[in-house]
Amino acid sequence: MVEDEAHDATLVQHVLKESGFEFIFQRVDNEEEFLRQIDQFQPSVILSDHGLPTFDGFTALSLAQRTVPDVPFIFVTGSLGEEMTIKALKSGATDFVLKHRLGTLPPALHRALRQADFRQQRKQAEEALLSSEERYRSLVELSPDALFVLSDERLIFINSAGVKLLGASTPDQLIGRPVRELVPAEHWPNLQQRLNQICKDGKPIPFLEEKLVHLDGTTLDVELAAAPLFFAGRLASQVIAHDISERKRSEQEIRRLNSALEHRVQERTSELEAANKELEAFSYSVSHDLRAPLRHIEGFVEILTTSTANTLDEESRRHLETIASSAKKMGLLIDDLLTFSRTARAELNKTPLELSALVRSTIHDLEPEAQNRKVEWVVKNLPCVEADASLLRQVVLNLLANALKYTRTRKVARIEIGSAQNSLEEVIFVSDNGVGFDPRYTHKLFGVFQRLHRAVDFEGTGVGLANVRRIIHRHGGRTWAESELNKGATFYFSLPKANTGFQDEVRIL
């Protein structure tokens, strides 16, 4: 309170206490103390007498407006004429109270504090709104997509991305232009209807593909989405445009490439069909034309052996036996090649298979080859798989026959068939305690005509494992092997996992 009379200040405090105010009070009587207490005391309200010996109330009001403009300023004076009252209110005083009517001070103070609170709240709201608008404007300007605001079918706002999209240098080149000038003529009626619908029912438009006109006259492919918006006190449309010109060009190029690819596939399919027909003709030639000379060789060797049995010397008989053996081997090689060829062309007929049953059946078929030998077959837990039964039987037969063959030199042959699994496939293995092979040549195992042992030691054409790899590959699986010389070998193949179970372990002696 700016007051030179201490008794008047005491009366003011008494009136406020009687009215229920809780407050801290500070009296000043000169300009220097007034400015110091404004900074230190930080008042919520300022009461001031009109005239002081060394300080004027209007001067205090002027200083308060410069330093604490939001703090209410009430004149509390002994007399204040009409002219002075008008001057005080025009100068920014909140209210005035006469000292001989201090009972009016509490209501005036209540009004002043409510007004100050209201002004503070409004100021905070305005600051929040301004901050929100600034953040919105920043987000709009930072957006990589164009944003337009349309009203009465005219452009009233556009962000930087929109200016760039339409080929302008400044927003002023576009603001105020009719929207129809920014859309191809044939597209405008449909877009106009949709924009009118927004203002009519207030519902947004989901993304739709449209075209816009660049300032240079070219058209742009865009994806539009629109929503109602109150702008400058009226209902408008807010439109977001995402440039999809590059995507459209890519889609067109993909369609062109797909068309070209489809044409190439048709050409390659025709070539493949022709090649298959040639392969079938070749297979027929192998099976018929090549077999005939072999039959002749075998037949005439047998005639010659029979008719000249008593006249041929030992060396000539050995030559004839070599010819017959070679012809027989040639026949087996032709059979294996035909099987290998048919494997590539055979249609897959996948069905659920109990691998344990297939293995036991194959072991039974190999019993003649295991006669007079001690062979221990160990069939461990095997899964059910999904495969072509006849082709998978060839795989199992080949691997078990090889294991049986390469354990021939062992007193007791042990052949184990088991499985493992991972998240994607079932892995089957055939392990034996036979002669094994040099691991340096593992890469040759599954090639056609590749053999890692001498024919005089172990018979074979070198086609069987190539056939295994081809069959498993057609099933979407893998093949590989591990071994050391004279320490046995393990052959693996995998099949894509099927949702099946396991069979129990079986031992067959």
Tens-place pLDDT, residues 18-68: 999 999 999 998 989 999 999 899 999 999 988 787 888 888 888 998 999
Q: What is the pLDDT of residue 456?
A: 46
Of the listed ranges 256-260, 417-421, 429-433, 496-500, the least confidently predicted one is 496-500
Q: What is the pLDDT of residue 135?
A: 66
Q: What is the pLDDT of residue 451?
A: 54
Q: Which amino acid is at 212?
A: L
Question: Distance of alpha carbon 57 from its chain centroid, rounded?
Answer: 73
Q: Which of 415, 401, 375, 407 is nearest to 463 (CA)?
A: 401
The pLDDT of 377-392, averaged and rounded, is 88
Q: What is the pLDDT of residue 15?
A: 92
Q: What is the pLDDT of residue 343?
A: 65
Q: What is the pLDDT of residue 460?
A: 55
Q: What is the pLDDT of residue 345?
A: 62
> Would you place residue 80 in the very low, low, confident or very high pLDDT band (cuts 50, 70, 90)?
low
Top-confidence range, 111-125, 231-245, 255-269 = 255-269
> Would you place residue 509 in the very low, low, confident or very high pLDDT band (cuts 50, 70, 90)?
very low
Give yes or no for a contact between 102 and 15, defined as CB atoms under 8 angstroms apart: yes
The pLDDT of 338-363, averaged and rounded, is 79
Please, which residues have CB within 8 angstroms of residue 437's CB and are 6 or more apart in sequence? 445, 452, 453, 483, 485, 489
Q: 18: exposed, middle or buried (C-beta count within 10 Å: 0-12, 13-18, 19+)?
A: exposed
The pLDDT of 328-345, averaged and rounded, is 67
Q: Which of 465, 432, 428 is nearest to 354 (CA)?
A: 428
Q: What is the pLDDT of residue 504?
A: 43
Average pLDDT of the residues of the chain: 82
**What percentage of the chain exceeds 70 in pLDDT?**
83
The pLDDT of 412-420, averaged and rounded, is 91
pLDDT tens digits for 265-280? 888 888 877 776 666 6
Mapped onto helix, strand or coil, the DSSP state of residue 424 is coil
| C-alpha radius of gyration, the chain, whole number | 51
Beta strands (DSSP E) in 152-218 are 154-158, 205-213
Give yes or no for a contact between 377 and 504, defined as CB atoms under 8 angstroms apart: no
Task: Return the higher-pLDDT residue of 286 and 46.
Answer: 46
pLDDT over 90 at 14, yes or no: yes
Task: Return the higher-pLDDT residue of 280 and 385.
Answer: 385
Q: What is the pLDDT of residue 295?
A: 76
The pLDDT of 363-369, averaged and rounded, is 86
pLDDT tens digits for 425-484? 899 999 999 888 877 767 777 765 555 555 544 555 567 788 888 889 888 899 898 888
> Would you place residue 322 in the very low, low, confident or very high pLDDT band (cuts 50, 70, 90)?
confident
Is-above-0.85 flag for pTM? no
Top-confidence range, 86-90, 225-229, 284-288, 505-509 = 225-229
| CA distances from residue 94 to 19, 48, 100, 249 in whole angstroms, order as listed | 20, 11, 19, 69
What is the rounded distance in angstroms from the CA atom of residue 378 to the CA atom of residue 395?
18
Q: What is the pLDDT of residue 503?
A: 44
pLDDT over 80 at 357, yes or no: yes
pLDDT over 60 at 502, yes or no: no
Q: What is the pLDDT of residue 301?
A: 80
Give the DSSP H/E element, type plus range, for residue 219. strand 219-231
Of the listed ranges 210-214, 260-264, 299-303, 486-490, the least confidently predicted one is 299-303
Alpha helices (runs of H) in 103-159, residue ranges in sequence order: 105-142
Q: What is the pLDDT of residue 230?
A: 73
Give all strands of the β-sheet with 73-77 in edge-to-edge order: 46-48, 73-77, 95-98
Angle CA 99–103–106, to nearest 5: 105
The pLDDT of 160-177, averaged and rounded, is 89
pLDDT over 80 at 130, yes or no: no
Q: What is the pLDDT of residue 320?
A: 82
Give the bridge partners for 153, in sequence order: none
pLDDT over 70 at 341, yes or no: no
What is the rounded distance in angstroms from the CA atom of residue 197 to the CA atom of residue 200?
5
State the chain's maximal CA–CA distance in angstroms. 165
The pLDDT of 68-90, averaged and rounded, is 81
Q: What is the pLDDT of residue 282?
A: 66
CB atoms within 10 A of CB 26: 13
Q: State both tokens at 121.
A: 């709240």
User: How many CA atoms lie less than 13 Å away from 231 in the CB half-sphere?
Assistant: 18
> Would you place residue 85 in the very low, low, confident or very high pLDDT band (cuts 50, 70, 90)?
confident
